[in-house]
Structure 1
Amino acid sequence: MKKLALTLGSVALLPQAALAHVGDHGASLFVSGVMHPLGGTDHVLAMVAVGLWAAVTAGRALWALPLGFVGAMLAGGALGAMGLVLPGVEPMILASIVLLGVAAALAWRAPLAVGVGIVAAFGLFHGHAHGTEGPAAGLLSYGAGFAFATMALHGAGVALGLGLNALSVRGAARAFGAGTAVAGLALTFA
């Protein structure tokens, strides 16, 4: 568990612009889609924070928050791929890191519909970035790739939060949430 925490913490400290990118990963569109959220610290932090918030909230939030994010992210990806403009995408992505980190740090137990609404709103903006910068052809394969990577990152956040709670490391999951919020602020002013 310490290795996972150290790895996630190290990733959060990597200096990267708050921009998603596809780049040439030399593989299929699915792999390109997988690499897209993994290639930006902003996406990694926000997606892990969704999982952390779900873990500290527990109950139905364990599946509802991640699925709400991914569903809206796919809709945002479709909007971006169609060329529809969504204003403030990058500021909303940065805001998502900070606010989702704060929600996890405070262990905010929002009503489920409110929590899902919040993550869905942020998911829409993350998805728009993915869709805008994705390939013109093969959107389904690419979208499946970035949905898969997103669910894996949510799962990592849930596993980290639940694992720390199971080990009775008091407040550690909340501390990771606070660290996420601080990293989001650092990216904002980078």
Structure 2
Amino acid sequence: MKLGRLSLPLALALTLLPSAALAHPGHGAAFGFGHGFGHPMTGLDHVLAMVMVGVFAFQLGGRALLALPLTFVGVMALGGALGMLGVTVPFVELGITLSIIALGAVVALNVKAPVAVATAVVGLFAVFHGYAHGAEMPESTGGLAYAVGFMMATALLHAAGLGLGFAIGRFGQGNGALAMRAAGGVATVAGIGILTGLV
């Protein structure tokens, strides 16, 4: 894996950081953006799943580097719209928790799924995450600014997962693979802890 292949997505994600500085009360759209941006960042369940999507994409490499994060963000936006509109989606919390367990497991087991299958899996989980973000949108915020906020935060967490995969990969074939699998295992155990109420 070459750093050059990751540079563009990471650079694009980092350009979004200055916008977060405007995210505080009293600044109209920035207020909605701040709430949206903060929502994925303040829940351990969302953070773990988003980072694992990035690590999974790194493990698969090639087209998956962009396909998985872009699919997740795009489908999550649709899920967010469902949540904002009050459409009922069953088993949202369970779906979110299972996403951590499943994504952690595929990373821990180094599953080499076809890109189409991997995007379908992350797309399914994205519906639940997006719905949770949309359903919990404060009434005082604008929907578009809020949605842009949680989509950007999610993209940054995916980029962090890609960066983590690249950093771990620099340890070398043996140690890097072991460390990456350990990271997936930690996420899976944390997901089980959340599911059982221990975390």
| TM-score category of the 2 structures, normalised to the smaller one | 0.7 to 0.9
Give deviations 1:6-53, integer Å, cap 9, x for gaps.
xxxxxxxxxxxxxxxxxxx85311011110001110000000010111
Q: Report if aligned partners of 1:49, 1:101 keep a CA contact under 8 Å in 2.
A: yes
Range with greater deviation from structure 2 (132-141 or 70-79): 132-141
Q: Which of 138, 146, 149 matches 1:145?
A: 149
Same amino acid, percent of matched pairs: 46
Q: Which of 177, 181, 185 matches 2:184?
A: 177
User: Partners in 2 of 1:166 and 1:59 — Cα distance?
Assistant: 18
User: What is aligned with 2:116?
Assistant: 113
Matched, 1:76 2:98: no
Shift of 1:135: 3.0
Q: Report if aligned partners of 1:33, 1:141 keep a CA contact under 8 Å in 2.
A: yes
Matched, 1:67 2:70: yes
User: What is aligned with 1:165?
Assistant: 169
User: Partners in 2 of 1:107 and 1:47 — Cα distance?
Assistant: 17
User: What is aligned with 2:40?
Assistant: 37
User: Partners in 2 of 1:26 and 1:65 — Cα distance?
Assistant: 31
User: What is aligned with 1:57?
Assistant: 60
Provide the secondary structure at the position in 1 that maps to 2:88: coil
Paired residue total: 166
RMSD, aligned CA: 1.2
User: Partners in 2 of 1:151 and 1:107 — Cα distance?
Assistant: 22
Q: Which of 98, 101, 106 matches 2:104?
A: 101
Q: TM-score, normalised by structure 1?
A: 0.84
Deviating beyond 4 angstroms after TM superposition, the runs of 4 or more aligned structure 1 residues are: none
Which sections of structure 2, spanning at least 5 residues, go unmatched?
1-22, 26-30
Matched, 1:186 2:193: yes
User: What is aligned with 1:132?
Assistant: 135
Q: TM-score, normalised by structure 2?
A: 0.81
User: What is aligned with 1:12?
Assistant: none
In structure 1, give the amino acid aligned to 2:34. V
Matched, 1:87 2:90: yes
User: Partners in 1 of 2:46 and 2:156 — Cα distance?
Assistant: 12
